[in-house]
Structure 1
Amino acid sequence: MDSDTGLGEFRYLQNAIDEGDFFNGSGLKDLSAHAGTHVDSPGHFINEAYYAKKGVHQLDLDILNGPAVVIEVPDNTNITAAALEALAIPPGAVRLIFKTLNTKKKLMTQTKFDPTYTAVTKDGAEWIVAHPHIRLVGIDYLSIAHYADLIGPHIVLLSEEIIPLEGLVLEEVEAGLYTLHCLPLKLVDSDGAPTRCILMP
């Protein structure tokens, strides 16, 4: 976040055929565990959870994979409790993915960070927690939490071990029901991890 240049060059060739090696072998450098599409673990905002080693390797794959609903959020609102109450969220939905104005603005394709992104407010997070069948919430920008209060919504969600799935690219995805396949890198004890996520009709 707060970058004008995006990720920059994080992949480089450690070994190169052009330089006499037998193979091309890439390395990664200066890549945040919260870059691009990624998940958060409780240790991201809760220090006790970090030292208790509640990292991404302990996230439940049964929650990260399964039926999901993509919900279109009106352009004129953040994801507040009132907005959630007005949305047509199917009863018993476990995985919610919010498609917002962020997608129309193509924020995930921009290198410069945009602090005006749409996200979940603290009272929105409290609404989610009050519906205990919800175990995963996804968003189409780099943070599930609104920039005006990054800490509050994260702590509300992570305290209940609801998985935030951030940085989704939803330009080709319509609202509706899907099967989510999401496998984060197994970074032991990490507070977050990049992940490849696929939505299947």
Structure 2
Amino acid sequence: MKALNIPRGVRRVLFRTSNTDRKLMWKKEFDTSYVGFMKDGAKWLVENTDIKLVGVPTHHVFLERREVNLLEGLKLDGVPAGIYSVHCLPLRLIGADGSPTRCILIK
């Protein structure tokens, strides 16, 4: 994580992993070979950056810190690495701890 050189002030990060290239998000059944965060990598991000939103498969370390929001199931096919503004539009659901969300990237 340290090698990514995420500068202070960056508050949202979307991680494109091989899950996208393998089209795991398009499968109807859960594939246990998905790529996720190791606990130490997630902990490093929480402790050493200003990130408040992470787009990845979920991880308990992120969930322990209530101020870090998670976006799961991102389909980033054809999205090159770069700096984007991300806008997320969740459905307002009463009594839910999550929501389907439409996310828009603007370069």
TM-score normalised by structure 1 residue count: 0.49
Aligned equivalents of 2:48, 2:93: Cα separation in 1: 29
- Conservation of the 8 A alpha-carbon contact between 2:6 and 2:49: no
| 1:127-183 deviations in Å (ceiling 9; x for gaps) | 1110251111002xxx323xxxxxxxx2x2223220011111101211001111101
SS of 2:105's equivalent?
strand
Superposed, which structure 2 residues align to 1:111-190 within 5 Å? 111-139=28-56, 143-145=57-59, 154=60, 156-161=61-66, 162-190=68-96
Please state whether the residue corresponding to 1:176 is helix, strand or coil. Answer: coil
| Alignment of 1:193 onto 2:107 | no
Aligned length: 106
What's the offset of the Cα at 1:121? Answer: 1.8
SS class of match (1:199): strand
Which fold has the larger relative contact order, with Cα–Cα distance below 8 Å and residues 6 or more apart in sequence?
A: 1
Q: Residue 192 of structure 1: CA displacement?
A: 1.1
The DSSP-based 3-state class of the residue aligned with 1:125 is: helix
Mapping of residues 1-201 of structure 1, within 5 Å: 84-139=1-56, 143-145=57-59, 154=60, 156-161=61-66, 162-201=68-107
Q: Which has the larger radius of gyration?
A: 1
SS of equivalent to 1:181: strand
The answer for unaligned runs of 5 or more in structure 1 is: 1-83, 146-153
Cα distance between partner residues in 2 of 1:160 and 1:106: 29
For residues 54 and 39 of structure 2, the distance between their equivalents in structure 1, rounded to whole angstroms, comes to 14
